């Protein structure tokens, strides 16, 4: 198209120059030769002038970019297939069933968080934020991932109407990555936290932190005190009474995993240690609020001294009694998996890794799986029967493969139609090493269905449903 336009401009320039020159010299042969020589030098100049004059009209005729709508999924940041953090972003269009490019973040980062908060008395529209994360490269050698400390403070807000990110006026008080975040509803009864996002734990400058804070939609930096223990790869779950349950995690640089838990009180801004402990010490696990108000906790790594093992155990936390109780086992050991509450009240538990892992924390993070690795199977927890069943119906031992790809550190996002979008994560390259992938799939109708690939390969990224 551009070549055809340039040819048209060139013809018009030649015609104008030729006509004017012959008008002056009367068309004699010598004069014609002179005109041709002069024109060759001037055609390029006039062509460029015409292109400059008309190109804005051509540009204005281009198709405007596709913008996301409510219910689409924003996917941002992460580690690329080459191990570098990326600032790229895209969104999954539910109606089009495809991934579409959107504006990039201002900071390339992985191990970040993204959350959407509702309208508050101080804001007029819902807002979507990305924050924290690591700006460092990830080195992958075999089934080992290592990343030096280089964490981010900047908060960015995504503007759906423009398909662009803007740097937020406030920033995190403490730079961090590999942390947890929990959004409070816009109509939350505690006015100091309505529409805020609680940020807890993770790593800051290579050290596990207990520091807590809140992302404020009105550009104010809020501090919420400290957890009772530093926590890495812990969980945070908003309960029906407005408190937040924080469970497990690695609690020190030696790599010790805890069975302790605590509650964040949004009225007093205090973290209160629970007298009861989990039935199993775990980190890299999941904690899912069920429809009955209880919390399902599954899998994770357990152990001490950085020598850890994925576990299959599961348990239930009862907020009324504040007691943890065993609820059986998964089909296989599983850690760094995803857990998604489905519309029928069951929980989809998918992907992750099994086996043993060595975790080293010193001026950064290193995770090395010495056995097992990423899996491509999934199972369903039924809260009525308190049992787990493999997707695909296999029984006895680990579930058979049912997902289209092995996935570790991917995202699972529940859509308004009840389907679950599973995207990216680390798979295994042809050389047998961890590598970020661009594949994606939907869990719907009781099975996984492959969909088109993401625009960019990514793992340790963030995904959130847009308001």
* Structure confidence by residue, pLDDT tens digits, 88-118: 999 999 999 999 999 999 999 999 999 999 8
Closest to 155 in 3D by CA, of 184, 118, 112:
112
Q: Which residue from 108, 101, 102 is spatially nearest to 84, judged by alpha carbons?
A: 108
Query: Who's near 445: CB < 8 A, 6+ residues apart?
Result: none
pLDDT digits (tens, 9 = 90+) for 414-451: 999 999 999 999 999 999 999 999 999 999 999 999 99
Distance CA 150, CA 138 (A): 11
Kindly list the distances between the CA atom of residue 258 and the CA atoms of 208, 356, 455, in Å, as whole numbers in the listed order. 13, 17, 39
Q: Answer whether residue 311 shows pLDDT above 60.
A: yes
Q: Is the same domain home to 32 and 97?
A: no
d(C-alpha 271, C-alpha 227), whole Å? 6
Contacts of 227 (CB under 8 A, 6+ apart): 200, 201, 210, 211, 212, 246, 262, 271
Does 66 reside within a domain?
Answer: no
116, 164: one domain: yes
At 420, which CATH number?
2.120.10.80
Residues 28-50: what's their mean pLDDT?
43
Closest CA to 9 of 41, 40, 49, 47: 47
Give the range of the structural domain holding residue 48, as residue numbers without chain letter: 2-60
The vertex-376 CA angle with 85 and 146, nearest 5°, equals 30
Considering the domain architecture, whether residues 109 and 54 belong to the same structural domain is answered as no
Which pair of structure tokens corresponds to residue 215? 């992302």
Tens of pLDDT, residue by residue over 338-374, are: 999 999 999 999 999 999 999 999 989 999 999 999 9
- Asked if the model's pLDDT at residue 85 lies above 50, the reply is yes
Whether residue 135 is found in the same domain as residue 31:
no
Would you say residue 291 lies in a domain? yes
Instruction: Examine residue 68 and state whether it is found in any structural domain, yes or no.
Output: no
pLDDT tier at 191 (50, 70, 90 boundaries)?
low
3-state secondary structure of 268: coil
The residue with greater pLDDT, 331 or 20, is 331
Write phi, then psi, for 192 (nearest 5 degrees): -70, -10
> Following DSSP, what letter does each residue of 180-238 receive, concatenated?
EEEEPPTT-SSGGGTT-EEEE--EETTEE--EEEEE-TTS-EEEEEE-SS--BS-EEEE
- Rounded to 5 degrees, φ, ψ at 252 are -155, 170
Residues 354, 251, 131, 196, CA torsion sign:
positive
Specify if 90 maps to a domain. yes
Last residue of a domain, one of 10, 31, 60: 60
What is the distance between the alpha carbons of residues 348 and 326, in angstroms, rounded to a whole number? 19
**pLDDT of the residue at 89:** 98
pLDDT tens across 374-390, in order? 999 999 999 999 999 99
Choose one of 13, 37, 60: the last residue of a domain.
60
Give dist(CA 234, CA 254) in Å, integer.
Answer: 16
Residue 65 resides in a domain:
no
Query: Which residue in 353, 355, 348 sits closest to 378, CA to CA?
Result: 348
**Overall number of domains in the chain:** 2
Query: Are 157 and 184 within one domain?
Result: yes
Q: Which of these, 391, 345, 348, 444, lies nearest to 94 by C-alpha position? A: 444
Q: Are residues 36 and 89 in the same domain?
A: no
Beta bridge partners of 204: 207
Residue 188: what pLDDT? 79
Instruction: State the Cα–Cα distance between residues 14 and 268, nearest whole angstrom.
Output: 80
The per-residue pLDDT for range 197-225, each reduced to its tens digit, is 999 999 999 999 999 998 887 776 677 88
Q: Are residues 15 and 113 in the same domain?
A: no
C-beta atoms surrounding 283 within 10 Å: 26
Rg (C-alpha) for the chain, rounded Å, is 28
If asked whether residues 44 and 131 sit together in one domain, one would say no
**Is 39 a residue whose pLDDT tops 90?**
no
296 and 343 housed in the same domain? yes
Residues 451, 367 within the same domain: yes
Query: Is residue 342, in this structure, part of any structural domain at all?
Result: yes
334 vs 337: CA distance, rounded Å: 7
My answer on whether 209 and 311 are in the same domain is yes
Contact 176, 204 (CB under 8 A): yes
* Secondary structure class of 33 (helix, strand, coil): helix
Over pLDDT 70: what percentage of the chain?
A: 86
Show the CA angle centred on residue 397, arms to residues 394 and 402, nearest 5°.
40
Q: Which residue has the tokens 């850690």?
A: 335
Residue 34 belongs to some domain of the structure: yes
Question: 9 vs 247, which has greater pLDDT?
Answer: 247
User: Going by C-beta distance under 8 Å and a sequence separation of 6 or more, which residues neighbour residue 20?
Assistant: none
- Return d(Cα 465, Cα 414) in angstroms, integer: 8
Classify residue 386 as left (phi > 0), alpha (psi -120 to 50) or beta. left
Q: Which residue has the tokens 């100091």?
A: 192
State the Cα–Cα distance between residues 311 and 467, nearest whole angstrom.
36
What is the rounded distance in angstroms from the CA atom of residue 154 to the CA atom of residue 172? 6
Q: What share of the chain is helix, strand, coil (3-state, %, to 5)?
A: 15, 40, 45
Are 47 and 130 contained in the same domain? no
Question: How far, in Å, CA of 283 to CA of 429, rounded?
Answer: 26
């Amino acid at each position: 198209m551009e070549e055809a336009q340039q040819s048209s401009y060139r013809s018009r320039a030649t015609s104008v120059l030729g006509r004017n020159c012959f008008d002056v010299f009367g068309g004699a042969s010598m004069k014609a030769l002179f005109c041709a020589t002069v024109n060759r030098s001037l055609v390029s100049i006039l062509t460029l002038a015409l292109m400059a004059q008309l190109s804005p009209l051509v540009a204005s005729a281009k198709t405007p970019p596709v913008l996301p709508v409510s219910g689409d999924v924003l996917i941002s940041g992460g580690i690329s297939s080459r191990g570098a953090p990326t600032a790229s972003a895209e969104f999954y269009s539910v109606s089009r069933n495809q991934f579409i490019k959107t504006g990039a973040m201002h900071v390339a980062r992985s191990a970040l968080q993204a959350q959407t908060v509702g309208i508050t008395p101080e804001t007029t529209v819902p807002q979507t934020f990305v924050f924290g994360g690591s700006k460092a490269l990830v080195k992958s050698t075999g089934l080992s991932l290592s990343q030096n400390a280089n964490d981010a403070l900047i908060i960015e807000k995504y503007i759906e109407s423009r398909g662009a990110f803007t740097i937020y006026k406030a920033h995190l008080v403490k730079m961090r990555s590999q942390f947890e975040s929990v959004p409070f509803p816009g109509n939350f009864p505690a006015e100091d936290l309505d529409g805020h996002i609680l940020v807890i734990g993770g790593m800051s400058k290579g050290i596990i932190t207990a520091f807590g804070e809140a992302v404020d939609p009105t550009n104010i930096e809020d501090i919420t005190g400290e957890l009772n223990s530093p926590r890495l790869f812990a969980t945070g779950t908003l309960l029906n009474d407005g408190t937040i349950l924080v469970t497990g995690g690695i609690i020190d640089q030696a790599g010790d995993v805890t069975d302790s838990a605590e509650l964040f009180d949004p009225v007093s801004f205090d973290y209160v240690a629970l007298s009861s402990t989990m039935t199993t010490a775990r980190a890299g696990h999941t904690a899912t609020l069920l429809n009955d108000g209880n919390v399902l906790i599954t899998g994770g790594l357990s152990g001490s001294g950085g020598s850890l093992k994925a576990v299959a155990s599961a348990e239930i936390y009862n907020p009324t009694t504040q007691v943890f109780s065993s609820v059986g086992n998964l089909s296989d050991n599983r850690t760094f998996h995803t857990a998604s509450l489905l519309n029928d009240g069951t929980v989809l538990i998918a992907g992750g890794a099994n086996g043993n892992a060595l975790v080293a924390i010193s001026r950064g993070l290193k995770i090395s799986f010495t056995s097992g690795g990423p899996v491509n199977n999934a199972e369903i927890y039924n809260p009525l029967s308190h049992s787990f069943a493999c997707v695909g119906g296999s029984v006895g031992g680990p579930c058979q493969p049912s997902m289209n790809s092995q996935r570790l550190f991917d995202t699972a996002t529940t859509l308004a139609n009840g389907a679950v979008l599973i995207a990216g994560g680390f798979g295994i390259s042809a050389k047998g090493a961890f590598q970020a992938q661009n594949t994606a799939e939907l869990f719907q109708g009781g099975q996984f269905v492959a969909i088109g690939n993401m625009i960019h390969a990514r793992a340790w990224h963030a995904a959130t449903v847009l308001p």
